[in-house]
Chain A
Amino acid sequence: MRNHKGARNLFLLVAAALIILLLSFGQNSSSSLGLNIIREGFFFFERIVRSPVGFVHGLWLDYIYLVDARQENQDLKKLVDEMRVKCMILEELREENWQLKAMMDYRSEHQEFVLYPAKLLAQDITMVFKSVIIDRGSRHGFYLDMPIVNPDGVVGRVIAVSPRTAEVLLVTDPNSAIPAHIEDSRIKGIVKGRGINTLSLEYVRRAEEVHIGSAVVTSGLLGMFPKGLILGYVQEVTTDENKMFAQILISPSANMEKIEIVFGLGPHVEAAD
């Protein structure tokens, strides 16, 4: 009986082997139907065997092993907060570094002048007038009508000075007027503030050819501003046949809303003598 059963099992195994061999017959690749069926069968077998093991493994890892995860999570959150603050500080330092670098470059480019650095203290309390108060005054070399610049261009001029502070009238103020010319065409005019972040170049005849994007620089007339300091770029030119002068709008090179550190532009000691 036992021998009979063993022979039957052996026969079944040999039959199965033959079926697989037959299914694979004639195909030299490993993707024959028989081998594929075996692989698929193995896949399901593996899944069935693996699932209870995976369940126990998951139970261990996700519940029992995570007893300290809450504390660890809190610690990590704290660490992330610390890192965020550090990132913020580093970002601020990077910005400050960039500004100082730009100013050092500017300083080396303008060695004919003495540059007096100053920080912004307060801004104009009205919406219409554009002036700022800086934290340096006559004690630090600032004087009335002193040109104030930053690496981007002209910011304004000193209109009031006390020992420790100075008031600067920005170029965008409606009361500001600076003799200037267009750098490429040498067309002269007066740059006036318009209250908002725009300037206008006045008294340029409408027949003159003015190109959009041309740089407008100080002309040095009246002696208040040295020649060649950049004021802005031509943004828009409008001509009217009934008017003698063209209306030229200029976008200021220095962003007045973002100024933090500025330079007072003083004459060199030798030049002053």
Chain B
Amino acid sequence: MWKLQISLFGILFVVIFVEATVIPHLWSPLRVDLFIGMIIGLIIHTPYSQGFPFVILASLFLQAFSGARLGYLPLLYVFTYLCIDLLKNIVYLENVFTQLTIGFLFFLVTTTAVVASVQGSIIDTNLGALLFGAVLTGSMSPIMATLVRHLKSTYES
């Protein structure tokens, strides 16, 4: 269990580096959320007792790299975790296209929700970057989910 958690945090640091340094360097308004893919992977491949605490802790780590008020990002990711966990009973989450769609939709939904609660209008956001970010997040979600599955299977065997 601990090995898995430590490895997950290792991946999280890479995710933060990519999200906070690499992606903005390529195109300043662009943001990609690789953590949504990790959440999908955690829901599918790890029990609630391992996945949920990791999401809370990891979102606190992510909070350090945002100007959002304290608790905003944990709230957002816990909401995402619970929603996808509920969806698990409705849709076949192991499917790559389902993961892709969920990644795409949740990026759009969470960003729109934050925009609505903070500045009021989605029009004030760079829509091109928002859509491109959603597409990239969707595309990366199955990869991140597969990464979690590989970690889990490695430590189980």
Contact = CB atoms under 8 A, between A and B. Distances in A.
A200 B68 CA distance: 20
Interface in B98-139: 111, 114-115, 118-119, 124-126, 129-130, 133
A121 B111 CA distance: 24
A128 B65 contact: no
Contact of A128 (B19, B21, B62, B119): B119
B45 interface: no
A127 B32 CA distance: 9
Interface stretch (A71-79, A168-176, A215-223): A168-176
B111 A128 contact: yes
A125 B65 contact: yes
Contacts of B73: 126
Interface stretch (B23-31, B88-96, B140-148): B23-31
A195 B115 contact: yes
Contacts of B68: 126, 128-129
A174 B119 contact: yes
A212 B116 CA distance: 29
Interface in B60-82: 62, 64-69, 73
Nearest to A129: B67
B20 interface: yes
A127 B20 contact: no
A168 B124 CA distance: 22
A125 B124 CA distance: 18
A206 B31 CA distance: 37
A175 B66 contact: no
Interface residues of B, number: 28
B19 A127 contact: no
Given A127-B111, A257-B28, A122 B118 contact: no
A166 B107 CA distance: 27
A256 B67 CA distance: 15
Contact of A125 (B16, B69, B129): B16
B118 A121 contact: no
Interface residues of A, number: 27
A188 interface: no
Given A128-B114, A128-B118, A169 B67 contact: yes
Interface string A170-186: 10011100000000000
B62 A125 contact: yes
Contacts of B28: 123, 256-258
A133 B65 CA distance: 8
From A159, A169, A195, A257, residue with most partner B Cβ within 10 Å = A195
A159 B129 CA distance: 26
Contacts of A174: 118-119
Contacts of A198: 124
Nearest to B112: A128
Given A126-B31, A126-B68, A131-B66, A194 B119 contact: yes
Given A129-B114, A175-B118, 9 more contacts: A122-B20, A122-B24, A126-B111, A127-B31, A128-B115, A129-B67, A169-B67, A170-B67, A194-B119
The 4 closest A-B pairs by CB, nearest first: A131-B67, A122-B20, A257-B28, A123-B24
Interface of A: 121-131, 133, 159-160, 167, 169-170, 173-175, 194-196, 198, 256-258
Interface of B: 16, 19-21, 24, 28-29, 31, 33, 62, 64-69, 73, 111, 114-115, 118-119, 124-126, 129-130, 133
8 contacts: A122-B16, A127-B31, A127-B130, A128-B68, A128-B118, A195-B125, A196-B125, A198-B124
